[in-house]
């Protein structure tokens, strides 16, 4: 990419050449909220100032626990009672509601969820196991 961003706000990015550009590609992670969105910046700053560990993988943290509670709070009544959210890492069958950290992992978790829960699909092989992805169509 010929643009070297040095500043960004909302949907605009200023390149090292001093020109401002309209960002039409902001679709990765929190950037879909806009560059340096105040809500995201405040949350990151609050977490950094708290001393809470970052990139904690599978460890529970206050931020992760708050996120999971908020996520489960969006489910219909009764559904959250039997739901467990598993962030990152491999997907063992005892987890009912996996949540991935990226698109590829989320798709892999979705395929594995179909394998576990769907009754119409007879076989799904996960690409994580280095097998070809096979999703038979019900007839």
Predicted pLDDT of residue 88: 54
- Domain ranges (residues) in the chain: 5-50, 62-129
Q: Residue 58 — φ and ψ, nearest 5°? A: -95, 5
Predicted pLDDT of residue 120: 41
pLDDT band at 14 (very low <50, low <70, confident <90, very high): very high
Predicted pLDDT of residue 86: 64
Lowest-confidence pick of 52-56, 76-80, 111-115? 111-115
Largest CA distance in the chain: 59
């Amino acid at each position: 990419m010929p643009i070297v961003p040095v500043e960004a706000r909302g949907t605009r990015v200023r390149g090292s050449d001093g020109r401002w550009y309209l960002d039409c590609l902001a679709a990765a992670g929190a950037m879909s909220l806009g560059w340096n969105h105040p809500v995201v910046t405040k949350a990151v700053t609050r977490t950094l100032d708290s001393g809470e560990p970052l990139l904690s993988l599978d460890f529970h943290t206050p931020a992760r626990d708050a996120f999971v509670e908020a996520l489960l709070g969006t489910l219909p009544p009764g559904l959250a009672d039997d739901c467990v959210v598993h962030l990152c890492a491999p997907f063992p069958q005892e987890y009912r509601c996996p949540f991935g950290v990226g698109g590829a992992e989320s798709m892999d978790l979705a395929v594995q969820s179909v394998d576990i829960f769907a009754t119409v699909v007879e076989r799904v092989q996960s690409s994580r196991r280095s097998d070809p992805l096979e999703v038979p169509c019900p007839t």
